[in-house]
Amino acid sequence: MTVGTLATLAALGAFHGLNPAMGWLFAVARGLQERSRSALLKALPPIAAGHLASVGIVAALVTATRSVTASTVLAVVGGVLLVGFGLWRLLSERHFRWAGMRLSAAQLAGWSFLMSSAHGAGLMLLPVLVAEPVSGGHSGHLAAAPVGALPGLAAAGVHTVAMFGTALAVAVLVYEVLGVGVLRRAWFNVDRLWAGVLVAAGLVTLIRA
């Protein structure tokens, strides 16, 4: 992966980390509920693990099955998915809600996986992954899945590290300095912005294809 690709993956990860729906708000709520910074910090790793699993599955599938021929198909299908999913998020008022806050690490990871999948986190990496050149001289042929999946898994790892670092910084800042009251006074709907970015990324992917 090029430096530009790594920077893009990290930027997308930071963007996901800023989104309250991706977990930092949940972690802050856990910390406030138990009046413990430790509870906040313990909530974030399983949340990041669930996000990694969701993004990693999409990234691994894209990079394991791509070729010169398949890249165009992936780009078109992925672009349509991005636009469709983004429009659905823009127009939909439905949101996932969790009834309780007393969750184990495994339950937190599962919740994060579902939230990340429902919000199309893996789809955001699609324009970056399909733009990467095919390596190893396998033009026109499918790459072997175990080897071909590695770049996708690496991309998911870079993305998730940036997401985790950003979510950690925001969660600690809100918990220690601002408090959840600021969210009532200065709330910004990041989910709507994200949906708009999905649509824009899908259109760019379709145009490039």
Write out pLDDT tens, residues 122-132. Answer: 777 777 777 66
d(CA 154, CA 65): 16
What pTM was estimated for this model as a whole? 0.69
**Dihedral in degrees, nearest 10, Cα atoms 142, 143, 146, 151:** -120
Confidence of residue 181 (pLDDT cuts 50, 70, 90): low
d(CA 64, CA 134): 11
Alpha helices in 24-91 (DSSP H): 24-34, 37-65, 68-91
| Averaged pLDDT of the chain | 75
d(CA 152, CA 72): 17
pLDDT of residue 169: 95
Q: What are phi and psi of 36, to 5 degrees?
A: -150, 125
In contact, 27 and 44? CB cutoff 8 Å: yes
pLDDT of residue 46: 94
97: Cα separation from own chain's centroid? 19
Positive or negative CA dihedral for 33, 34, 37, 43? negative
Tell me the pLDDT tens digit for each residue of 111-151. Answer: 888 878 877 777 777 777 776 655 544 444 444 444 455 67
Confidence of residue 156 (pLDDT cuts 50, 70, 90): confident
pLDDT of residue 197: 67
Tell me the pLDDT tens digit for each residue of 7-47. Answer: 888 998 998 898 887 888 888 888 887 778 898 999 999 99
- Which two structure tokens, joined as six digits, stand for 195? 């949906």
- Which two structure tokens, joined as six digits, stand for 116? 């990340």
Tell me the pLDDT tens digit for each residue of 62-80. Answer: 777 665 555 567 667 777 8
Please report which helix (H) or strand (E) contains residue 140, including its range.
none
